[in-house]
Amino acid sequence: MRVELIQHTPEPEKVVAAAARLCYSSDPVPDLLERLDDEVVASFVRKLREMGHLSTFEHVSFQFSIDGVSRALSHQLVRHRIASYSQRSQRYVEEKGFDFVVPPSVKRSPQALERFEMVMARLQEDYQELLNSVPAEDARYVLPNACTTSLMATFNVRSLLNFFEHRTCIRAQWEIRSLAEKMLELVRVVAPNLFSEAGPTCITQGICRQGKYSCGRLKTLEGKK
């Protein structure tokens, strides 16, 4: 898996603070931006987050390049609908000798790994043979969820916070959890105040919404207090 932060809104935290101050000021945005120093910006961001006033967070966006992840992951990722995605097409791009993601549980079992790799090899051969007689858009029907893909994804901050809340949770599927953790690490470098409280609710809010499916981490955290 390779994840890169391609670009983002310049001075993201200052943009959020200016948008918040604009609601209560007669001054234009450029003037507000000039008067905001780092201390004021950090204070504004913290107050907005604590009060749950996150509409101003939507003015800031982050764009990611994501490579070497499975189609299984991409199908989960696009469920986060308040974002924009572009993905390598299996209709127009042939997947000859495709790479694939091997789950950790499969790697831990020599027998399972042997079977998994045998299935992948057979599917690669079947896909190649089908390409000789049908269009790639039809041959792709035999491609597995393990087949790797590349995406570009753009989120605003509010949507990212929601994504991190759900996908850094221990109960999130292992691959998309790894992706979320890498993305969170990247954005925290750029906007530490915006993402200082990002993560699963057991850590950020002291609650768990998983009900009977809870991993139990909240109880562990409460026991350390």
Residues 6+ apart with CB under 8 A from 5: 62, 63, 64, 183, 186, 187, 190
Within 10 angstroms of residue 153's Cβ, the number of other Cβ atoms is 24
| Residue-level pLDDT at 224 | 62
Rounded mean pLDDT, 169-197: 96
Instruction: Indicate the pairing of strand 83-87 with strand 2-8.
Output: unpaired
In this predicted model, what pLDDT tens digit does every residue of 93-109 receive, in sequence order? 999 999 999 999 999 99
**Coil vs helix vs strand at 41:** helix
Indicate the angle between helix axes 38-51 and 12-22, nearest 10 degrees: 70
Residues 6+ apart with CB under 8 A from 101: 68, 69, 70, 72, 73, 146, 148, 175
Q: Is 188 annotated as a binding residue?
A: no
Provide the residue count of the chain.
225
Q: Is 79 annotated as a binding residue?
A: yes
| Spatial distance between the Cα atoms of 160 and 171, rounded to a whole number of angstroms | 18
In this predicted model, what pLDDT tens digit does every residue of 24-81 receive, in sequence order? 776 777 777 778 888 889 998 999 888 888 999 999 999 999 999 999 999 999 999 9
Q: Is 69 annotated as a binding residue?
A: no
- Predicted TM-score (pTM) of this structure: 0.92
Q: Is 80 annotated as a binding residue?
A: yes
| Spatial distance between the Cα atoms of 103 and 29, rounded to a whole number of angstroms | 49
Q: Which of 218, 175, 167, 205 is nearest to 71 (CA)?
A: 175
| Residue-level pLDDT at 225 | 58
Q: How confident is the model at residue 23 (pLDDT cuts 50, 70, 90)?
A: confident
Q: Is 63 annotated as a binding residue?
A: no
Domains by residue range for the chain, with CATH: 2-85+151-200 (3.30.1360.170), 92-142 (no CATH)
Q: Is 7 annotated as a binding residue?
A: no
| Spatial distance between the Cα atoms of 103 and 124, rounded to a whole number of angstroms | 18
Q: Is 124 annotated as a binding residue?
A: no
Residues marked as catalytic: 167
